[in-house]
């Protein structure tokens, strides 16, 4: 059976959990917190990052969330998530990179540092300037998503794709950490509400990360 090394607020692990659920691939989860990763984990992945997906019986270790997504796209037919012509597929991959890199660096990473790492590891208060800047940048990203959703049924085109999973994964972590102000983003809010009601999303919404509690609206499907 597949074994997923992850931690609850890792947006890249969340993307893979959504993908595996949509594709109906069974797996068990092991928790690997980034600030206390074991030597065993570093041996599995020299990049030292979650998610890692391992299959002991088949002697397979997959690292890097995009490499993992491409692997399941190639090996599991159900629910294709990098679909269409080569140009469509390039558009899906462009948006995945936009959320994995720009949204993550601008919004998710500073929120994780201020609200998770400082709380759990460093025992420091969050820097409110950094939080404000992350929330400001989040608005810019949500504006762009609003525009995409005005023009297309799903972020990358006519069907749900890995771009939607990547975006929902980042937003879900940012929302958990209180970094998303939904006012003025009705299009993205509507798109996200549809997502929250999917069976693939429910397990993420019920999970909690230690002492850090999400805002009240976080797990509400109709909010």
Point out which residues bind a copy of itself (CB under 8 A).
Answer: 46-48, 60, 62-64, 66-68, 70-71, 74-75, 86-87, 89-90, 93-94, 96-98, 101-102, 144
Q: Residue 142 or residue 219: which is nearer to a copy of itself going by CB?
A: 142
Smallest gap from Cβ 33 to a copy of itself, in A, equals 19
Smallest gap from Cβ 34 to a copy of itself, in A, equals 14
Smallest gap from Cβ 159 to a copy of itself, in A, equals 18
Compute the half-sphere exposure of residue 127: CA atoms within 13 Å on the CB side of its CA. Answer: 9
Nearest of 149, 220, 138 to residue 181 by alpha carbon: 138
Nearest of 69, 89, 92, 83 to residue 167 by alpha carbon: 92
Q: Residue 4 or residue 68: which is nearer to a copy of itself going by CB?
A: 68
Smallest gap from Cβ 151 to a copy of itself, in A, equals 13
CA distances from 62 to 71, 148, 194 (A): 8, 31, 30
Q: Residue 162 or residue 174: which is nearer to a copy of itself going by CB?
A: 162
| Contact call for residues 2 and 53 (beta carbons, < 8 A) | yes
Q: Residue 46 or residue 125: which is nearer to a copy of itself going by CB?
A: 46
Q: Residue 101 or residue 127: which is nearer to a copy of itself going by CB?
A: 101
Burial 9-26 (b: 16+ CB within 10 A, else e): bbbbbbbbbbbbbbbebe
Question: How far is residue 10's CA from residue 32's CA, in Å, rounded to a whole number?
Answer: 10
Smallest gap from Cβ 131 to a copy of itself, in A, equals 23
């Amino acid at each position: 059976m597949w074994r997923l090394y992850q931690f609850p607020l890792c947006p890249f692990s969340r993307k893979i959990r959504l993908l595996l659920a949509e594709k109906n691939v069974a797996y068990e989860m092991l928790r690997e917190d980034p600030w206390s990763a074991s030597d065993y984990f570093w041996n599995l992945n020299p990049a030292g990052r979650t998610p890692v997906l391992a299959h002991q019986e088949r002697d397979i270790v997959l690292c890097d969330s995009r490499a993992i997504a491409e692997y399941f796209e190639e090996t599991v037919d159900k629910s294709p998530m990098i679909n269409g012509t080569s140009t469509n597929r390039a558009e899906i991959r462009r948006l995945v990179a936009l959320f994995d890199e720009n949204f993550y660096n601008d919004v998710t990473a500073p929120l994780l540092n201020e609200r998770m790492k400082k709380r759990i590891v460093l025992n420091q208060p969050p820097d409110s300037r950094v939080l404000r800047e992350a929330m400001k940048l989040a608005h810019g990203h949500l504006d762009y998503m609003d525009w995409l959703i005005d023009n297309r049924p799903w972020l990358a085109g006519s069907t749900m794709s890995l771009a939607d999973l990547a975006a929902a994964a980042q937003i879900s972590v940012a929302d958990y950490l209180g970094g998303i102000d939904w006012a003025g983003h009705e299009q993205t809010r509507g798109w996200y509400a549809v997502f929250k009601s999917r069976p693939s999303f429910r397990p993420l919404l019920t999970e909690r990360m230690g002492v850090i509690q999400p805002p009240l609206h976080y797990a509400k499907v109709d909010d």
